[in-house]
A and B are shown apart, each in its own frame.
Chain A
Amino acid sequence: MNSYLSTVFSKVGSLLATLLVISLIIFSLVELMPGDVAQMILGQSATEESLRELRQARGLNDPFFTRYGRWITGVLRGDLGDSIYMQGVPISSILWRKVGHSLFLALTAFIIFVPVSIVLGVIAGVKEKKAADSIISFTGLATMALPEFVSGVILISIFAVRLKWLPIVSVIPIGQTLFQNLDILILPALSITFVMFGYVSRMQRSSMIIVMNSDYIKAARLKGLPERYIIFRHALRNALLPTITIIGMNMGWLFGGLIVVETLFGFPGMGSLLMTAIKTRDVPLIEACVLLITVIFALSTMTTDLLYGYLNPRIRFKGGQR
């Protein structure tokens, strides 16, 4: 267990170092964005004098590392700064509400695509080279190849425009909560499911095929155990490990990928907030959103690594330790 703990500490250290480097990259890239923040704020009617004063007041004329240092020390203290367009409003007060919405959307998609993909992946693996396998594999490939904005438009056309079962736009009516409007989650979550289903079901199928052809499964069959018992008690537990890795690795991608889905459906999450921030050159807000996505990505990757170790005895009991 000591070895496992030292692995955990090592991974956390590596995560912090990665985040520090990435924060510098994010800050540099945002700096390179074309456009003038002061001009964006004051608009067409700004005079050179007012632009100069605003740049001075916001510290936009300070050297790069001064501004980076100011930003990163603020982030470490939990202060993400103020939005350019909302003087006196901490970014965190806007961000967490949106992050809550996005997390909820991501988890709704997660709840749909994980069981569906695993079950269908298992069926495809067990029924290798049969009709069920072909149909599931083809569907997985097709949905994986479709970008979210294409599958989203198809879903809107069918379920919102033609059948009128679900709303076209996933906004939360003013005065109500997301909890009161769960139907707005269905189409965005299905769009995400379409993409994720391909990855997960194909991985589940492959690992299931490998496990089902392994010696210990053959031995179980020779012992005369029922096929269902072999699949669920012997094969699935091992075949799930690579799938969990893929799911974990994709959680970070899923969160970043919400930008497209949220923009398409007008969902009030972090993705649409980031898009708005980019459009309006709201630099502190862009930096906060991108950094948060990076943190989620890095955390999900690290968690997956640790979970893999937790679930896989060959890694957990390295060198015969318990």
Chain B
Amino acid sequence: MKRICIVLSILIALSGTLLFAAGETEQTTGSSVIIRVADNMPGLITPGQWNGQAFSLNSSVYDYPVVLDPDTGELKGEVLSSWESEDGLRWILTIRQDIVFHDGSTLDADDLIFTLERTQDSTVSHVKQKDFEIIESVNKIDAYTVEVVLKEVRPGFIYQLSDYNMAVLSRDYDYSALGETSPMGSGPFTVQELVNKEYAHLVAFDEYWEKGFPLSDEVHIYFVSDRDTALSMLINGQVDIVPFITPIMKQRVDSHEDIYVTVPYTEQRFLSMRVDAPPFNDNTVRLALKHSLSPTLLARGLNLELGSQFYYSEGPVMETQSQFVQTGPRKRDPQKARDLLKQAGYPEGLTVTLTYAGDHAFNQAIAQSIQEQAKEGGFTILLKGYPRDIYFSQYWMQVPLSITTWGGRVDPAVLLSLAFDSRGVWNESHVKDPVLDEIISSILTEVEAGKLDMLYRELQEYFYDVGPLINIQVPYLVALTSSISGYTQPLTMLPVYKYIEKLN
């Protein structure tokens, strides 16, 4: 018995030791105004390498050359005080003179040049390398002015500088060694502590160039891999903001008076038909599928309302963008769909596999709704949902029918050149039509607004008639406590925490 007692005593002593060992010494916060966020678990977070999971952190730590004004939808300068180009080929970018990085160094022309040239640095594997290949040269005019010369005319080039991977970085900071552990920029908040895979503790940057901002003292970001757990934290009062929830999750908070849900922007899901192989190389089949689907039923299947948070079109421009042209709606007509299939040589109907990333919000529900609706139109759709890495590495751009998540581009022309041009690197429908190439090329180089509007109309009519795409636009939902006001997150996906107010 004595020996048993000894063993049990050792175990209890060991647990007591661990109790104190687990208690790391950290400073507790006083009466500061703290914004608490339960965000997604990030992957790589260094600008140029991150894969879109660290929006709260990066938008707070870094500044961007230009940002999208969520109220007007127009670009406004952040690091840039102004920009100009007469021909869309030579750009003059002027930098504010009052910006300093968190390490105290001044942000000037050399930092902007470093940021732009870094996109082409092969050791970085910059995700925007293709987008910025168009730059011929970057030249320093003076300490705060940079000249960018492009290889081709690009009136919309400036929009590319609002991308979430284009934060302005310090030329003197070693981002390859420190970017993942000690992010350093010139943004409204500095990193006090970053515990990888757990949390980020940000505090207001005293020398931030925009005087009077940020409005809060600290931002606490919890990295939570499970969205339901994140929502539980909100319900429990442990956080104030939970980005990226689904409509089903929204139902959990609908009964909570102190929680509301906002839709800062919409995302796109492309139902893409591969046109270089049967069966979708025949436009009759594409039309048959389009006639099988009802936007209203699709919206209902996602617990959404058509026209407010859910949009549906057959072109690549989002309904919320100024370039959008109404070409539909096409009436759902399953009988016509069956007739078209018969005409295309499928009198008994057509069986096709729909492949998608099942772990992206809405994709599974969209796929099931399409499967159900298309059945009446003579389509037997087999569903194959995969984790997103498997989808993108093994199936994307290979399969006849797919659903892919596409973030909205501030300038739709950027997306057109990537996804629908014959030479586009992510031409998932494999469309290679000189007519479409010509329209896209004209859009990319057109300077005059009136002509550009005409080109966008022509583009969207083309897609309505023969396009390989159904564009389903779904809301990006964010749940917040009622104490939070001023939450904004434009199409660039970067939430702006510096303007958020928290009422106690």
Contact = CB atoms under 8 A, between A and B. Distances in A.
Interface of A: 34-36, 39-47, 49-50, 53-54, 57, 83, 85-89, 94, 97, 100-101, 103-104, 107-108, 110-111, 114, 160, 167-169, 171, 173-180, 233, 236-237, 240, 244, 263, 265-266, 268, 272-273, 275-276, 279-281, 307, 310-311
6 contacts: A50-B126, A104-B15, A104-B18, A174-B220, A176-B28, A266-B224
B393 interface: yes
Interface string B17-49: 011111111111100000010000111101001
B176 A87 contact: yes
Given A53-B122, A167-B236, 15 more contacts: A35-B387, A39-B389, A41-B44, A44-B51, A50-B127, A85-B42, A85-B180, A87-B44, A97-B24, A103-B22, A174-B201, A176-B26, A177-B25, A237-B1, A310-B7
Q: Which of B15, B43, B390 has the most CB of A within 10 A?
A: B43
Q: What 6 A-B pairs come out closest when comparing CB atoms? A: A179-B23, A43-B51, A36-B393, A107-B15, A39-B393, A40-B389
A177 B18 contact: no
Given A176-B28, A311-B3, A111 B43 contact: no
Interface residues of B, number: 73
B7 A174 contact: no
B51 A178 contact: no
B41 A276 contact: yes
A88 B404 CA distance: 33
Interface of A, secondary structure class, is helix
Interface string B359-399: 00000000000000000000000000001111011101000
A35 B193 CA distance: 32
A266 B224 CA distance: 8
Contacts of A177: 22-26
B236 A40 contact: no
A89 B3 CA distance: 44
A100 B18 contact: yes
Contact of B43 (A40, A47, A275): A40
Nearest to A48: B425
Contacts of B236: 160, 167-169
B229 interface: yes
Interface string B178-192: 111100000000000
A224 B15 CA distance: 41
Contacts of A310: 3, 7
A57 B123 CA distance: 9
Nearest to A232: B1
Nearest to A44: B392
A61 to B, nearest CB: 15
Contacts of B209: none
A153 to B, nearest CB: 11
Given A35-B389, A35-B393, A42 B127 contact: yes
Contacts of B7: 244, 307, 310-311
B22 A179 contact: yes
A168 B235 contact: yes
Given A36-B393, A168-B232, A174-B222, A88 B178 contact: yes
Given A41-B51, A171-B238, A276-B41, A179 B19 contact: yes
A112 to B, nearest CB: 11
Nearest to B221: A174
B4 A311 contact: yes
Contact of A110 (B15, B199, B404, B425): B15
B152 interface: no
Contacts of B438: none
Contacts of A268: 198
Given A97-B195, A107-B15, A111-B15, A43 B127 contact: yes
Contacts of A49: 129
A314 B42 CA distance: 56
A41 B199 CA distance: 20
B11 interface: yes
Nearest to A37: B389
Contacts of B396: 44
A280 B197 CA distance: 11
B392 A104 contact: no
B151 interface: no
B12 to A, nearest CB: 7
Contacts of B423: none
Contact of B179 (A46, A87, A233): A87
Nearest to A273: B197
Interface in B314-336: none
Contacts of B23: 177-180
Contacts of A244: 4, 7
A175 B197 contact: no
A108 B14 CA distance: 11
A175 B34 CA distance: 12
B226 interface: yes
A276 B21 contact: no
A92 B430 CA distance: 46
Given A104-B22, A160-B236, A47 B27 contact: no
A36 B21 CA distance: 38
Contacts of A178: 22-23
A49 to B, nearest CB: 8
B225 interface: yes
B34 to A, nearest CB: 8
A37 B12 CA distance: 42
B4 A175 contact: no
A13 to B, nearest CB: 24
A50 B392 contact: no
A167 B397 CA distance: 45
B97 interface: no
